[in-house]
């Protein structure tokens, strides 16, 4: 018994030490963003600033339109999640409940898009959107993310667990298919829908490659594009404002994460989705 407690303490210490290493970049980001300029580059490193200065935040805030970036990220992520979830509910329901010609072909086609990510298709997608006049617009940023193969797949899986008798009973009572979806199916699969929506939001919020390709003007930038281009003019040593900018750009998501940590981790474990 005493041996067991000993091992528990050892494991706790190992895991805690690892956690400190994991936290180090976050910690140093915050310390750099509030330290007086000379202390940022001092040796030995100043782990705790002598006093807190807000100058870096003031400079970072004035150098880029962060509220515009927030707004763009929020619009893109919200529309992407809403479309993906609503389209996913309809398609997932259809694939789970109905039998129809070419069903498997269509399903494989949708899953097949996972093998051809935007990293592969970006060139042709850009040419296509340029012809539509969608470059540097919200619909251009959203184009590859109006629907999610993952959402269709996961929603189909969970609709399959809904007993068919329940749906038939509703049909006999005269409910239409759309009514059945929103009155019966959606309430039953809510946990999956919430997890899918949360993960899609995260992936859209942090998405970088496609937005940086399709966005040209400053007022269309999302947060990741904004922070990447904020870094560029800093060839010289001015890390205070740069770290303040990263704090500004990731703080909302980290706070949301701190408040809903269990929910987010459970969502990953439930769906296996990575972003």
Span 38-67, contacts to other proteins by CB under 8 A: 40-41, 43-45
The binder of other proteins chosen from 6, 24, 62, 78 (CB under 8 A):
24
Q: Which residues contact 99 (CB under 8 A, 6 or more apart)?
A: none
d(Cα 202, Cα 194) in Å, to the nearest integer?
Answer: 12
Q: Interface residues for other proteins in 224-263 (CB under 8 A)? A: 224-225, 227-228, 231, 237, 239, 242-243, 245-246, 249-250, 253-254, 257-258, 261-262
d(Cα 90, Cα 108) in Å, to the nearest integer?
Answer: 17
The binder of other proteins chosen from 130, 133, 161, 166 (CB under 8 A):
130
**For the chain, what is the largest distance between any 2 Cα atoms, rounded to a whole number of angstroms?**
77
Is 32 an interacting residue with respect to other proteins (CB under 8 A)?
Answer: yes
Nearer to other proteins, 24 or 54 (CB): 24
d(Cα 165, Cα 103) in Å, to the nearest integer?
Answer: 22
d(Cα 144, Cα 146) in Å, to the nearest integer?
Answer: 6
Contact call for residues 248 and 66 (beta carbons, < 8 A): yes
Is 144 an interacting residue with respect to other proteins (CB under 8 A)?
Answer: yes
Interhelix angle 223-231/239-259, nearest 10 degrees: 160
- The minimum distance between CB 72 and other proteins, in angstroms, equals 14
Angle at 203 between CA 150 and CA 255, to 5 degrees: 130
* Dihedral sign computed on CA atoms, order 87, 90, 94, 97: positive
Give the range of 13-21, 48-56, 58-66, 185-193 binding other proteins by CB under 8 A.
13-21
* N-to-C CA span, the chain: 43
- The minimum distance between CB 186 and other proteins, in angstroms, equals 14
The binder of other proteins chosen from 63, 71, 171, 219 (CB under 8 A):
171
Is 25 an interacting residue with respect to other proteins (CB under 8 A)?
Answer: yes
Is 70 an interacting residue with respect to other proteins (CB under 8 A)?
Answer: no
The binder of other proteins chosen from 113, 157, 184, 186 (CB under 8 A):
113
Nearer to other proteins, 109 or 190 (CB): 109
Is 166 an interacting residue with respect to other proteins (CB under 8 A)?
Answer: no
Q: Interface residues for other proteins in 183-222 (CB under 8 A)? A: 202, 205-206, 208-209, 212-213
Contact call for residues 214 and 135 (beta carbons, < 8 A): yes
């Amino acid at each position: 018994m005493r041996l067991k407690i000993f091992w528990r303490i050892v494991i706790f210490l190992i895991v805690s030490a690892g956690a400190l290493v994991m936290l180090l970049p976050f910690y140093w980001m915050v310390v750099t963003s509030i330290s007086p300029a000379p202390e940022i580059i001092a040796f030995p490193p100043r782990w705790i600033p002598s006093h807190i200065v807000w100058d870096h935040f003031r400079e970072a805030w004035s150098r880029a339109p962060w509220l515009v970036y927030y707004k763009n990220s929020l619009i893109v992520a919200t529309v992407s999640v809403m479309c993906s979830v609503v389209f996913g509910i309809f398609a997932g329901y259809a694939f789970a409940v109905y039998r129809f010609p070419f069903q498997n072909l269509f399903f494989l086609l949708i899953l097949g898009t996972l093998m051809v990510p935007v990293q592969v298709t970006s060139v042709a997608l850009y040419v296509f959107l340029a012809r539509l006049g969608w470059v540097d617009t919200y619909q251009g940023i959203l184009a590859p993310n109006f629907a999610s193969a993952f959402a269709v797949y996961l929603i189909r899986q969970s609709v399959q667990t809904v007993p068919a008798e329940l749906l038939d009973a509703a049909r006999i009572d005269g409910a239409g298919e759309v009514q059945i979806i929103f009155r019966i199916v959606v309430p039953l699969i809510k946990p999956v829908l919430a997890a899918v929506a949360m993960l899609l939001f995260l992936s859209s919020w942090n998405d970088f490659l496609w937005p940086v390709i399709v966005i040209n003007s400053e007022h269309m930038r999302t947060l990741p594009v904004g922070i990447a281009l904020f870094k560029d003019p800093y060839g010289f040593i001015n890390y205070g404002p740069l770290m303040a900018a990263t704090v500004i750009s990731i703080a909302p998501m980290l706070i949301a994460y701190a408040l809903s940590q269990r929910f987010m981790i459970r969502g990953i474990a439930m769906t296996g989705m990575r972003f």
